[in-house]
Amino acid sequence: MKVANGIEIIKVLEQAFPKYLSYAKDPIGLHIGTLNKKVKRIMVTLDVLENFVDEAIAKEVDLIVAHHPLLFRPIQAIDTATPQGRLIEKAICHQIAIYGIHTNLDIGTGGINDYMANSLGLSNCEIMDVTYEEPLIKLVTFVPKSHIEAVYEAICHAGAGHIGNYKGTSFQTEGIGMFIPLKGAAPFIGKVGHAEQVSEIRLETILPLKLQNKVLKALLVAHPYEEVAYDFYPLNQKGKAYGLGRVGCLTAPMSLHAFANWLKEKWDLDGVRVIGDLNQPIQKVAVSGGDGNKYIAKAKRMGADVFVSGDIYYHNAHSAMEMGLSIVDVGHHAEKICKPLLADFFCQKAQEYKWMLDVLQSESNTNPFRFL
């Protein structure tokens, strides 16, 4: 077991929820302090408020990971007479680093939207709004027949060859490779100064652009040649899709009234706002954390009976009623489910990487609303 460095911890987090998935200008990342330090205790939270930082200080936390970034907008001064200024001062004085992971956690696989859908047992889920599709490339290389299996297995192990629900996909054709080793060369086959003809396999496969360096490294290690011939080609087709919102089906239909009460209990909510006929049968559900106003029409187009989200505006509620879409407004604070999500993630990674890491969920209530 070892005490992990903060850079190491966040690197693992960003591998699971890459920054490139986030919305443009979303202020994710490190906000306060440094990651280049030993981290023994981490605390996860939805919001960073002064009462929460006081809690982190009392519990001797080294690193805070929050879903809602502390600094949404640039600040002109750190005025310690203001709540935000005091918060920043306290964090710095107690050497607590604060890191924000926002829309990349919403969008990423296993993130907030998936967590919401899975908690409701939704099946046959689709992405409501695709925001990113992985670019794909093709690798073409030429391998002597004696090493084709070793090279093929190495690049597939590095992540090449995945198409949909298939792995290890490739196309192989036999041909003749020709070359003349020059002075200073150390050829695997042939002699310096002599023309050689070698029976080779042209190996083609597909991979995500993000894995190019990893697959290339595996190719160069496994390939016997001193100078490996290979090409990478950009492809028009796209790979895995990512986005906000999920639409799927309940295991069994229920009334809107029953669904809203079940949801309230499931997500431990103080109250919900419901739009629609309480007796309406609900089967197909759309979910999106945070502010869902701009996805109302999209949820309807995708055939949802009800849309579960937060911060629905008055006039948008009228629009939903007119188009026949029910809504359960769970509020923005429903995203507090990020706390068990992130806590489980860090606990699993601590076990996997053998980190000596305490993972805490904030107990501070940051919901500004009260239900009477």
What's at 229, amino acid-wise? A
Distances (CA, A) of 21 to 26, 66, 107, 206, 235: 10, 17, 7, 22, 20
Q: Name 43's bridge partners.
A: 64, 360
DSSP labels for 30-56?
EEES-SSSEESEEEEES---HHHHHHH
Q: How far apart are CA 193 and CA 226, in angstroms?
A: 16
Could you report the per-residue pLDDT of 94-135, keeping only the tens digit for each?
A: 999 999 999 999 999 999 999 999 999 999 999 999 999 999
Residue 2: predicted pLDDT:
93
Residue 183: predicted pLDDT:
87
Contact 123, 251 (CB under 8 A): yes
Contact 5, 37 (CB under 8 A): yes
Domains of the chain, by residue range, sit at 4-101+336-361, 107-130+242-335, 134-240
What's at 325, amino acid-wise? L
Tokens 């093709």 belong to which residue?
138
Q: How far apart are CA 281 and CA 14, in angstroms?
A: 40
Contact 190, 139 (CB under 8 A): no
User: Does residue 346 sit in helix, strand or coil?
Assistant: helix
Q: Which residues of 96-128 are buried (b: 16+ CB within 10 A; e: fewer)?
A: bbbbbbbbbbbbbeebbbbbbbeebebeebbbb
* Protein fold of 134-240: Alpha-Beta Plaits (3.30.70)
Same fold, 4-101+336-361 and 107-130+242-335: yes
Which residues, 6+ apart, have CB-to-CB distance to 166 below 8 Å?
none
Q: What is the pLDDT along the chain (372 residues), one digit of tens a residue?
A: 899 999 999 999 999 999 999 999 999 999 999 999 999 999 999 999 999 999 999 999 999 999 999 998 888 899 999 999 999 999 999 999 999 999 999 999 999 999 999 999 999 999 999 999 999 999 999 999 999 999 999 999 999 999 988 999 999 999 998 888 898 888 888 888 888 889 999 999 999 999 999 999 999 999 999 999 999 999 999 999 999 999 999 999 999 999 999 999 999 999 999 999 999 999 999 999 999 999 999 999 999 999 999 999 999 999 999 999 999 999 999 999 999 999 999 999 999 999 999 999 999 999 999 988
Indicate the pTM of the whole model: 0.88
The CATH homologous superfamily of the domain defined by 107-130+242-335: NIF3 (NGG1p interacting factor 3)-like (3.40.1390.30)
Return the closest-CA partner of residue 302 out of 252, 241, 244, 253. 244
Q: What is the CATH number of domain 4-101+336-361?
A: 3.40.1390.30
Q: How far apart are CA 172 and CA 178, in angstroms?
A: 18
Residue 69: predicted pLDDT:
94
Residue 361: predicted pLDDT:
97
Tokens of 243: 């986005």
